[in-house]
Amino acid sequence: MANKLKKIESLSLKAVLADGMEALTVLRQVDIDIVFSDIDMPSLSGIELLKSLKKPPVFIFISSHSEHAAESFDLDVIDYIVKPAKIERLIKAVDKAIEYLDAKRKMQAEVPVKQTTTQAATDFVRTIDANEYFFVKENNTHIKINMGDVLYIESMGDFSKISTTVNKSHMVLISLKNLEKQLPQHMFIRVHKQYIINTLHIKHISISDIKLSNNFIIPVSIAYKQALQDNLINKKTLTRFIE
């Protein structure tokens, strides 16, 4: 893993540690931006390590077991990689982590330190009318986004990234869980711990993923598959017979 990470030019490897306890000692002494951690470790697991830190850096978990993914995303990890971790998958995770860190630094420079996440959530204002839209706050300006232009929304830890059809993305300091509560359910649906999609832009749905109108592939997790089937597929699929 260390050898693979050394090949990624945007990273500077600061430490390679044997277990969670060693990592805890280093993280309490050194400023680190990104931690790549296994979950199954002696003495202190990766999840326990993350929970033990008051101000944790960005975590990317790498594990042989996919069943830990749900709990990990509840802890706002930036990504979860199932072994074997190929170099291209690591690069994707690193790019996402750096994008998150850049957005966080930019946001911290603009927002007063005392402002809480709850206050920041008020910057997402939803107005329903014939042309459904909402506002997001960027650079102290409220930007109007038409809901029909939104392709998908991706969790970036305590941020969310809104991707649109006009090749423009917007980073907001609101969790995906809070965004889900504010968006209209007839248009937006949660299909993964990391993704909400706009149903208007679904191109096709397969067993494990969804292709959107821009050909971007969104994974569908087991936890949300039944809800997708009940709330969208069953209701919108034409059948041969109808009562």
List the chain domain ranges.
2-110, 117-236
DSSP notation for the chain: -HHHHHT-TT-------SSHHHHHHHHTTS--SEEEE-SS-SSS-HHHHHHT-SS--EEEEEES-GGGHHHHHHTT-SEEEESS--HHHHHHHHHHHHHHHHHHHHHHHHS-TT--HHHHHTT-EEE-SSS-EEEEEETTEEEEEEGGGEEEEEEETTEEEEEETTS-EEEESS-HHHHHHHS-TTTEEEEETTEEEEGGGEEEE-SSEEEETT--EEE--HHHHHHHIIIIIHHH---S---
pLDDT of residue 69: 79
pLDDT of residue 113: 46
Check: pTM over 0.85? Answer yes or no. no
Q: Smallest Cα–Cα separation from 134: which of 120, 119, 118, 150?
A: 150
Confidence class for position 239, pLDDT limits 50, 70, 90: confident
pLDDT of residue 137: 85
Is the pLDDT reported for residue 144 higher than 70?
yes
Token output for 108: 């911290």
Q: Domain 117-236 adopts which CATH fold?
A: OB fold (Dihydrolipoamide Acetyltransferase, E2P) (2.40.50)
Is the pLDDT reported for residue 107 higher than 90?
no
Q: Is 162 exposed, middle or buried (0-12, 13-18, 19+ CB in 10 A)?
A: buried
User: Within its chain, how far is the Cα of 6 from the centroid?
Assistant: 25
145-202: per-residue pLDDT in tens?
999 999 999 998 888 999 999 888 999 989 899 999 999 998 999 999 899 999 999 9
Which is it for strands 141-146 and 217-219: parallel, antiparallel or unpaired? Answer: unpaired
Q: What is the mean pLDDT of the chain?
A: 87
pLDDT of residue 114: 47
* Sheet order of strands, 58-63 included: 34-37, 58-63, 79-82
Confidence class for position 127, pLDDT limits 50, 70, 90: low
pLDDT of residue 88: 95
33-81: per-residue pLDDT in tens?
999 999 999 889 999 999 999 889 999 999 988 877 777 877 888 999 9
pLDDT of residue 101: 92
| Class of domain 2-110 (CATH, top level) | alpha beta
Is the pLDDT reported for residue 105 higher than 50?
yes
Token output for 54: 């008051």
Q: Smallest Cα–Cα separation from 179: which of 216, 145, 217, 141?
A: 145
pLDDT of residue 126: 53
* Sheet order of strands, 217-219 included: 202-205, 209-212, 217-219
